[in-house]
Structure 1
């Protein structure tokens, strides 16, 4: 079991699921604490990058996947589309020191390879690095796409 911390918030914010959607929040917020707990599933390697999926601890068997660029919690339906949508490349962080455990998670699909898991107003998306995450070279914005497993 692990928790996934975002890089760019002053306080410690972590990925959680709420109402079947991916969010970030502080752990001390109201709601089930298990919503912050994930199993990071190793799926193999791709050109030197680890491929991973994020499975909720509760409910087990549900994974973060992207659907219309939004990260949602879904059960594995066995389709090729699901496999593509729930698989992420673990890359060097867009910002942050990799020696401190920071990473970024890139969409696996070739057509979406410019997109990384990021957040806007506490909601999780796969966001284009060239547009959303690098807006005006703002380090805070770039940090939306960097995460640490704790």
Structure 2
């Protein structure tokens, strides 16, 4: 299995199917993923909480790897993620990128860049154009 196939299986089994047991199959116990949460790396135990929390906000999730590059033990992928908001029927469409180093068939480190603002806007949890509101100095909640 290529590193891209491993990464694709990670997203399919863990994120689409919600198979939390697959976390240990695809993600090394000492590994960490940067760029998801502001306060540090996300490890296997964190994914066990993070994945169900995010999946609870959507129905019918799907992803597509739009572009990818593999070199030695690294794979980079640009992803397109689609789903339907649980609160209503609004479609959710976001993009992101991940660079992962894979050794022995498992992710040992990962660097993510996903823009969660559009995700939360489309899920109905932030106002539309939240980024523009914030850029103008508007507060979305009391300080």
TM-score under structure 1 normalisation? 0.29
Higher relative contact order (CA 8 A, sep 6+): 1
Larger of the two Rg values belongs to structure = 2
